Amino acid sequence: MSTTGNGNDILLQGFHWNLTKTQGTGTFDNKSLSWYTELTRLAPKISADGFTMIYLPPPWSDDSEWYGHGKHGGGEGYYWHDFDLNSRYGSKEELKLLVAEMHRHGVKVIIDIVINHRDRTRMQKDIWPYPGEAWRTAGDDSGGRFMDGSADLNLTNPTVYTRIQQALSELQTDVGVDGWRWDFVWGFDPQEVRSLILDTKHAEYFSVGEYWQDRAHGDDPMAERYGANEKLRILGWMRESGSAVFDICLKRAINTGVASNLSRGINTSVAPVERSSVVTFVDNHDTGASPECQANNFGQRAWECSPDFKSRAYAFILSMPGLPMVYWPDLYDWNVPGILELIRARKLADITAASEYTDLSSSYGGFAAIVRNQRGEDSLAIAIDSAFVAPPGFTLFAKHENEWAVYLKS
């Protein structure tokens, strides 16, 4: 079972937290077209900008509402009520057109899947009595609680598992999607993911899990098996699920805002399978800001990269091993310097998720490295807050003054 792409992929997160809200106060509410239709229109540009995969928001119907700290929202897809593909992002037919257009331009489509929890108060189809065997509260659960656990599903229940398997197969066969981003994966056992991948109608191209849990909670199956060490737990989930995993260790290093810490990520591991099985990222819909909306200001901002370090962080992930992901607002709303040039440099240098590299940081300060292509040849050199200048044979390709420089082998 291989669900980690071909090693040459560059992923775009095609949404942010503030796009749509139940009360119609998101940044894309009250538009004349849906977000799916907008993405369909932008498919040629997304492809031309160098992306090979796009990751879309949860596809199922969500009419939830939340309030707190002067903010409100709901409808983002993370508290869905039915396996209905007519969501706030667009209709099932619009999603099918979007996937077809992305495929026409060589872009694969990954869907965010939320299977740990479900809105138990608005069910209209697949009504599972609450409390009952379908739920953690009266049944069982193979992982940890989401918030208080009151809305957690019991994936070990055959009814729940079979219906989720059918919903994923519908996305594959009727819509044409290529894989999954699994939400909140410490909420269930990684074997559930492995089984669902094996039990869906078609082979997935790509699958990645959000294992984000800095402390080893007692109801986390990875903590039970791998202990307190975060990296071991992340890699354990990767191996047991058969999926890629987000490089939270690197995200932690990015958030220090110190270039010399960047080598602490899993993407710099000596093991090629570990480098090639992590998705590197600077921010996403949870960790970073989103374009401002009336409902929720600048969004989640739960663990954001400092704006002063963001361009440096993108220089790192787009030059180094691992599968890099770009967060939509960073490129298409805020135009963080250098992203498109860095994507082009990565492609020209033939850098892959498993590329080897030589770390020169100890000699020059900051972060500095020479990265090799698929043939094992020195191909790209990078300096971030470093005195390093590439040796003869390299030519400066892109830079952001006083922050980073990228060189390509002539």
Q: Tally the C-alpha atoms within 13 A of residue 314's C-alpha that lie toward its C-beta.
A: 30
Model pLDDT for residues 326-355, shown as the tens digit of each residue = 999 999 999 999 999 999 999 999 999 999
At residue 218, the pLDDT reads 83
Residue among 183, 204, 304, 385 flagged as catalytic: 183
Model pLDDT for residues 57-80, shown as the tens digit of each residue = 999 999 999 999 999 999 999 999
Cα 120 from Cα 171, distance rounded (Å): 22
Asked if pLDDT for residue 109 goes beyond 90, the answer is yes
At residue 50, the pLDDT reads 98
Asked if pLDDT for residue 216 goes beyond 90, the answer is no
Angle at 314 between CA 307 and CA 378, to 5 degrees: 150
Angle at 238 between CA 222 and CA 214, to 5 degrees: 45
Asked if 204 and 179 count as a contact pair (C-beta separation under 8 A), the reply is yes
At residue 140, the pLDDT reads 86
Q: Cis (ω within 30 of 0) for the bond into 291?
A: no
Cα 244 from Cα 227, distance rounded (Å): 20
At residue 1, the pLDDT reads 79
Q: Return the closest-CA partner of residue 8 out of 64, 50, 66.
A: 50
At residue 214, the pLDDT reads 85
Angle at 312 between CA 347 and CA 109, to 5 degrees: 45
Helices marked H in 146-245 — which ranges? Answer: 158-170, 190-199, 221-226, 230-241
Of all residues in the chain, the percent with pLDDT exceeding 90 is: 97
Neighbours of 308 (CB within 10 A): 9
Phi-psi region of 92 (alpha: psi -120 to 50; beta: other; left: phi over 0): alpha
Element (H, E) at 17: none
Domain range 11-354, CATH architecture: Alpha-Beta Barrel (3.20)
Can you list the positions of beta strands (E) in 78-218?
108-113, 179-182, 206-209
Cα 351 from Cα 370, distance rounded (Å): 11
DSSP letters along 242-310, please?
TSEEE-HHHHHHHTTT-GGGGGGSGGG-SSHHHHTTEEEES--TTTS----BTTTBT---SSPPPTTTH
Asked if 115 and 155 count as a contact pair (C-beta separation under 8 A), the reply is yes
Residue 106's pLDDT band (boundaries 50, 70, 90)? very high
At residue 138, the pLDDT reads 87
Element (H, E) at 339: helix 339-349
Element (H, E) at 73: strand 71-73
Residue 364's pLDDT band (boundaries 50, 70, 90)? very high
Q: Return the closest-CA partner of residue 279 out of 236, 240, 327, 342.
A: 327
Asked if 77 and 7 count as a contact pair (C-beta separation under 8 A), the reply is no
Cα 225 from Cα 221, distance rounded (Å): 6
Asked if pLDDT for residue 2 goes beyond 90, the answer is no
Q: Return the closest-CA partner of residue 316 out of 350, 351, 348.
A: 351
Per-residue tokens: 52: 């090979």
Cα 280 from Cα 283, distance rounded (Å): 9
Model pLDDT for residues 228-259, shown as the tens digit of each residue = 999 999 999 999 999 999 999 999 999 999 99
Per-residue tokens: 31: 């538009």
**Catalytic site residue 286?**
no
What average pLDDT does the structure give for the chain? 97
Model pLDDT for residues 35-63, shown as the tens digit of each residue = 999 999 999 999 999 999 999 999 999 99
At residue 139, the pLDDT reads 78
- What letter would DSSP give residue 200? S
**Mean pLDDT on 92-112:** 98
Asked if pLDDT for residue 215 goes beyond 90, the answer is no
- What letter would DSSP give residue 259? G
pTM to 2 decimals? 0.98
Q: Return the closest-CA partner of residue 58 out of 177, 161, 140, 142.
A: 177
Neighbours of 154 (CB within 10 A): 21
Asked if 186 and 220 count as a contact pair (C-beta separation under 8 A), the reply is yes
**Catalytic site residue 210?**
yes
Q: Return the closest-CA partner of residue 287 out of 258, 247, 242, 239.
A: 247
Residue among 82, 112, 210, 403 flagged as catalytic: 210
- What letter would DSSP give residue 142? S
